[in-house]
Amino acid sequence: MHFIKILLVLSWVSDPYASEYCGIKNGKSFYSYLKTKGPMLDEVNKRKEQFKPEITIAQQRPNPEISFDYLKSDQFGLTSNSFNLTAQHIIEFGSKRDRRVAKAEVLNELNNTQIDLSMYSSTSSAILIYQKTAQHELLIRAVKEASETFSKIVKKLSGRKQLNPEETVSLSTLRLASNEYLARLNDLENQKSLLEGQVKFFSDCNNPGISYAELNFPMIAKPLDSKNDSGLVRLEDVKVNLANKELDLQKSLAYSNILVGPTVEFQNQGADHFVSGGVALSFSLPLFHANDGGKNKAVKEFEFQKIQTKNNKRNLHIERENLLKKYQRSILTFKKMPSLKDLNRKHQEVEQLFSRGVVSIAMTIESHRQQVDFLKSRFEIENDLLETYTKINLIDGELSSLDDLF
C-alpha cells in the first residue's frame, strides 16, 4: 500500500505539465512567468545576442598585407635570382573605423529598442489572451445557467396536460431561447479551446490554472512631451541618428586608405649578393570618384528619414492624445459598472424569485439575456482598455507599466 502511494507521488512530481508544477494560478502568476521564463523571453534574449557581434565586427582593423616576389633571369649564361618581401599596414583615413563603430552602436540601439517594444506588445497580447480565456469561462457558466433554467421551465410546462395560450407561447419561446443559448455555448466552448491552446504555449504548461481577476487600470495624465526619450517616439529619433551615421560613414569612404610598411629585396648574381631595404607606400588615387554616389545616396536617405520621422512623431502625438481621451472615457465607464461580485449576488436573489415562480417567463428570459449581454459588454470594455493602455505605453516607452495592472 505504501509502495503504491510512493509511486503515485513520484508520478505526480515527475509530470512536467502538472498544474501545480507550472505555478500558473491566475493572471498575475501568468504575467510573472512571462517576465522570467516564458518562451518569448528566451527568443528575445537570443535575438539580442545576434546583434552584439555587430559592434565587434565594426571595431576590427584591416589585416596587414604581405607580398612576396621572386624573379629569375639568365644574363649571358649567368643566372640571376631576385627576392622581394613587403609587409604593409593599412591606415584607414577619414576616421572610417570610428564611424563604422558609431553606426554599429546606433544600429544596435535601434534593434534592441525594437525588440523591447515588440516584447512588451507580445506580453500584453498574451495577458489579453489569458483574460479572454478566463472571461469565456464566466460567460460559459452564465450561458449554461440560463440554458439549465430554461430547460427546467420547459420540462415543467411540458408536463402539464393543458396549457393556456400564454403558456403555449411561453413554451415555444423558451425552446427557441434554449436552442439559441446552446448555440452560444458551442461557440464559446470552441473559442475558449483555441484561447487555452495559446495560454498553454505561453505558459509552457498543459494544464495552466485559469482564474478571472479584474485588472487595475491606472489613470494616465502625463503629457507625451515628457517622454520623448523612449518608446516609439524615441525609436523615430534613433532612425534619424542611424541615417546620419550612415552619411558620416559614406563621407569617410571618400578618403583613400594608405598602405605603408618595410620592403626588403635580396639579389644574387653568380657569386655576388645584394641586399636592399626601404619603405613601400601605396594608395588609391581618387581620379575617377570620391564616393560621390555613396554620399549622395546617404544624403537623400538622411533627408527622407528626417521628414518621415517628423511626420511619424506628429502622428504619434495625435494618436496618443486620442488614445488617452478614449482610455479616460472608457475607464470612467468601466469603474461605474457593478463588479462581478455584486452582479452575481443580485442575480442569485433574482434566481430565487424565478424558482418560486413569482416572476413571469418573459422576465426570466430577459433577465438571463441581460446577464449574459452585460458580461460580454463589460469584458469588451475591459479588453479594449488593455489594448489602449498598451498602445499608450508603447508610445511613452513605459515598458514596465504592465506591473501596475496586477
Taking only the tens place, the pLDDT of each residue in 298-338 is 999 999 999 999 999 999 999 999 999 999 999 999 988 88
The answer to whether the beta carbons of residues 317 and 223 sit under 8 Å apart is no
Where are the chain's structural domains?
27-60+92-254+290-405
CA distances from 174 to 120, 150, 199 (A): 47, 6, 36
Share of the chain above pLDDT 90, in %: 58
Sign (positive or negative) of CA dihedral 107, 111, 114, 117: negative
Q: What is the largest CA-CA distance in the chain?
A: 138
Question: Is residue 125 over pLDDT 60?
Answer: yes
CA distances from 309 to 166, 312, 320, 393, 398 (A): 68, 5, 16, 19, 20
Q: Please give the Cα distance from 70 to 265 (Å, whole number).
A: 10
Tens digit of pLDDT for each residue in 172-218?
A: 877 888 888 889 999 999 999 999 999 999 998 989 999 999 999 99
The domain defined by 27-60+92-254+290-405 folds into: Outer membrane efflux proteins (OEP) (1.20.1600)
Q: Please give the Cα distance from 81 to 271 (Å, whole number).
A: 11
Q: How does residue 160 score in pLDDT terms, banded at 50, 70 and 90?
A: confident
